[in-house]
């Protein structure tokens, strides 16, 4: 138990000193294993973990979905999505912010990354909201919050990683993410309505568009619909495995980008390089987390946790609440992937011992991670926006995101308290 706690302290200290999290985890895990086991055991564990983590068919879904997201981003599908949602919602009070959220949700359906969703949508939605005199905070908040849907609405890179870590069916996880994602869109729209009800001047209405224009705008989003239908329909219907779906999705997105002349050789190479660099970064963290988890599993820490949780058998929700609090705290420091890789191996057996569903827990973890993406001080989505909109201050965006953050807490409560919301669609996946 003491070794594990010392390990966590060492890991945090090194990481705060700016050592990359992956290398902090490898070194602490390695030294920890020497103490908890033996030098020989620690040495062989590092080599085996690094090699086995890299050679893994299931994990090939990660680079392919990252690639798909990067092609989609370059294919400018975001513009059509925004035009369409704007045609339907723009004339309402706060309508452009609501349109932004719906467009973010649509983009999430073809992109598995929250940061990419926020970055892409900000380029499309922000200029138009500014044109109509929207408050910077409300506008940027809509993009930062809407962007978080990227990791919940399938495809989702984080759900893939969770699925592989816990041996949970990725198709089921993807299906389970759909309804909580739609609920997220609904709650965010309610958040905009509430803000506008208090301060109508923050989000003035835009122009009303006739049904002819609306239908025309809607017909242009067929690209997104086709990609989503093929990828999710394929997985849902059991026609392809997640890796195959990701390969086909990436190929489809590549064809879209090429057909729209969005690709020249330089852009094409950039897309590939970005994707492989992200993949390598994810895998280094993965290898680090596995080495660290090997160390933790050699200590009495997991057993102690299980015993403590066992004491709450008649009130298991208390354990869930405790875990959620820990996630919120960790989310203030760690970025999403490191947080999941660090915590899931520890908490998953605990949650399973209390009789909860693995698919449901995956969705809970991702929803709480979404919240961490817009929580100060780290709130990565906010920093992405800050990079794209240098003239809006970080505190303005954090202030603007508050209403959405509260909406997220309500959604978390619904997802935690009402498991069928996640499990109903998942039950149809074989």
> Which of the residues 334 through 363 are near other proteins (CB under 8 A)?
334-338
Residues 154-173 that bind other proteins (CB under 8 A): 157-158, 161
| Token pair 């925004």: residue | 82
Which of 1, 38, 41, 44 touches other proteins (CB under 8 A)?
44
* Residue 164 or 354 having the CB closest to other proteins: 164
* Residue 275 or 396 having the CB closest to other proteins: 275
Six token digits for residue 189: 């729209």
Exposed/middle/buried for 35, CB within 10 Å: 0-12, 13-18, 19+?
middle
261 φ/ψ sector (left φ>0, alpha ψ -120 to 50, else beta): left
Residue-wise DSSP of 352-405: HHTT--HHHHHHHHHHHHHHHHTSTTT-HHHHHHHHH-TTS-HHHHHHHHHHHH
Q: Quote the CA–CA distance of 401 and 382 in Å, as a whole number.
A: 9
* Residue 61 or 176 having the CB closest to other proteins: 61
Q: Does 240 bind other proteins (CB under 8 A)?
A: yes
* Residue 68 or 77 having the CB closest to other proteins: 68
Q: Does 297 bind other proteins (CB under 8 A)?
A: no
Residues 125-154 that bind other proteins (CB under 8 A): 151
| Residues 249 and 227 sit within 8 Å (Cβ to Cβ) | yes
Q: Quote the CA–CA distance of 355 and 358 in Å, as a whole number.
A: 9
Q: Does 55 bind other proteins (CB under 8 A)?
A: yes
Pick the stretch among 85-93, 299-307, 333-341, 416-424 that binds other proteins (CB under 8 A).
333-341
Residues that bind other proteins (rule: CB under 8 A) add up to a total of 75
Exposed/middle/buried for 272, CB within 10 Å: 0-12, 13-18, 19+?
middle
Q: Quote the CA–CA distance of 281 and 267 in Å, as a whole number.
A: 21
Q: Does 18 bind other proteins (CB under 8 A)?
A: yes
Taking the alpha carbons at both ends of the chain, their separation in whole angstroms is: 40
Which of 6, 10, 34, 50 touches other proteins (CB under 8 A)?
50
Q: Does 108 bind other proteins (CB under 8 A)?
A: no
Which of 95, 112, 180, 302 touches other proteins (CB under 8 A)?
112
Give SS3 for 315.
coil
Q: Does 54 bind other proteins (CB under 8 A)?
A: yes
Q: Does 22 bind other proteins (CB under 8 A)?
A: yes
Site string for other proteins, 251-280 (x = CB under 8 A): x--x--------------x--xxxxxxxxx
């Amino acid at each position: 138990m003491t070794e594990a706690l010392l390990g966590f302290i060492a890991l945090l200290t090194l990481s705060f000193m700016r050592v990359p999290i992956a290398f902090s985890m490898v070194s602490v895990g390695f030294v920890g294993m020497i103490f908890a086991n033996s030098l020989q055991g620690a040495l062989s564990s590092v080599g085996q973990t690094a090699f086995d983590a890299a050679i893994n068919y299931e994990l090939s879904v990660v680079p392919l979905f990252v690639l798909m997201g990067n092609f989609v981003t370059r294919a400018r599908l975001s513009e059509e999505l925004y035009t369409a949602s704007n045609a339907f919602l723009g004339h309402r009070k706060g309508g452009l912010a609501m349109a932004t959220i719906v467009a973010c949700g649509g983009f999430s359906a073809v992109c598995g990354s929250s940061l990419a969703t926020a970055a892409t949508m900000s380029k499309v939605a922000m200029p138009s909201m500014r044109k109509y005199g929207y408050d910077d905070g409300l506008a940027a908040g809509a993009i930062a919050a809407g962007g978080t849907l990227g990791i919940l609405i399938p495809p989702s890179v984080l759900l893939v990683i969770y699925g592989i870590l816990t041996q949970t069916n990725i198709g089921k996880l993807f299906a389970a993410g759909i309804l909580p994602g739609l609920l997220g869109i609904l709650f965010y729209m309610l958040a905009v309505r509430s803000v506008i009800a208090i301060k109508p001047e923050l989000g003035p209405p835009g122009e009303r568009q006739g049904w002819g224009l609306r239908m025309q705008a809607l017909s242009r989003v067929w690209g997104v619909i086709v990609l989503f239908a093929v990828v999710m329909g394929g997985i849902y219907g059991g026609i392809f495995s997640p890796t195959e779906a990701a390969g086909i999705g990436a190929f489809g997105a590549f064809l879209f980008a090429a057909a729209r002349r969005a690709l020249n050789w330089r852009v094409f190479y950039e897309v590939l390089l970005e994707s492989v660099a992200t993949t390598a970064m994810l895998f280094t963290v993965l290898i680090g987390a596995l080495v660290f988890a090997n160390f933790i599993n050699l200590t009495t820490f997991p057993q102690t946790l299980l015993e403590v949780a066992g004491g709450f058998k008649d009130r298991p929700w208390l354990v869930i609440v405790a875990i959620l609090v820990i996630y919120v705290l960790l989310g203030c420091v760690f970025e999403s992937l490191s947080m999941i890789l660090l915590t899931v191996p520890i908490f998953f057996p605990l949650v399973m011992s209390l009789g909860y569903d693995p698919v449901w827990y995956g969705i809970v973890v991702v929803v709480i991670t979404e919240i961490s993406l817009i929580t100060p001080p780290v709130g990565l989505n906010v920093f992405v926006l800050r990079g794209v909109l240098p003239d809006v201050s970080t505190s303005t965006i954090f202030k603007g995101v508050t209403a959405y953050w509260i909406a997220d807490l309500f959604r978390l409560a619904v997802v935690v308290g009402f498991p069928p919301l996640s499990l109903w669609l998942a039950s149809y996946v074989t």
